[in-house]
Chain A
């Protein structure tokens, strides 16, 4: 039977990790992920999991150990944030390149400098092209649900890729929310036992992982990896459909919030999407046709589906909690505009950087964005395309 609980995002993810009961966790504590590492250590200390917990000396070693443990033939989880994510950067494409389905929670936090422990999406957005599947979560419930689905997706025989599940540092990781949890048995049944592929520990059938592949083979290896990631979309939807049967909770490639007849829309990821949806409800009461597109699956990026969902909108604001310095447009702006490319009468688009380093994104801020979009929809004049929202200049 499902349980209703009040939990922080970190608690919820830790609970999912206990229920997944992985063979190995290798993790290094970093704010705001720390509670996760601590809580999982409690599970280990009290015999609640069968996991071998490797308390590594750095995140580089955390990801290295995860890749080793996965190649050895075991189910592996880890978690990190910000600088820790940056330190394991070298290993991220090695995880996807060796096709080791490591599952990692990333509690989003800003990059230094200046040092800041609060939320930006610098970490996961920076690592978006590392060959991992990326799932984003608005709240604790979604983080919990994404974790359980991630295991099924990454480990699927047609996928075999690592998956990262992102949730906002502090805003979600440290805020208590109501959520529904599955019972242990249902999680166990849903994820099934780990199936290893060519494990290192099968000494009767020796395999070589990580061989040198030069001009003659490297490209084929990368092509296979690319195809697996692009093709994972179908599996992600299949797993979501099955999860819906189990929980009643519906997941897709993104959330389409009142977009179908919308004239103005915001594209926004993670916790701030909650604020945007609330504002949409207020605007709808006033007769303003507003909507939200909230990406969940960022890699593989659902270009066609997003084009389909946005093609009739008049004006769109694409908002990111990170900057792609010097690009003149944030990562999601580039993705969404590329999805819209080729439409005969494409929507007008503007781009905002918001909420860096945990800066609060207020209801009034979002109202302001919709006001500007309504103006653009009316006049057809976009004005300045790229802006920092609410910054003191």
Chain B
């Protein structure tokens, strides 16, 4: 059996793979089977997000009019979905995570520890947890900074945070001008403002501790 073709093919190849899939994938799938999955249409029923989208329409009226018309739920759904697709396609998720862990003081920096219900939506197919943080976690980023900050930051990150190694994204803008976000620019800002907008505590600012106090020995 251990050296025969059928033993290796059926037990080693198929059997053990199936056992692992059942125990490691099917178990969580069954655990969460009753947790409803939200569609984009349901996700845009969100006052925090609607506020940000309207703010974009007032801040960049010409560009917004041209690409999205009026700030309705339909145009918001379109922008949110496109923003998600850009986040995936540009590989943002390889340098930014989207979950706050219960360790390493992460909840002091980013807020509430992540839970499964936050990810039970269509925009987390596949889930955008990420495995590396070159830049900070983004799951609580929404509302923390203004839309204009994000526009300038996408255009030239180092102009706002000088040591940032984040690439420039001039293709999110018309005429090479950070005041003119195009369809993609408005979409990606909408997506970033959506992150964490479902929480009660929104926006969330990290606890500010002056550096001198941080340097003190906590045991004193």
**Real binding pair:** no
Chain A residues near B (Cβ < 8 Å): none
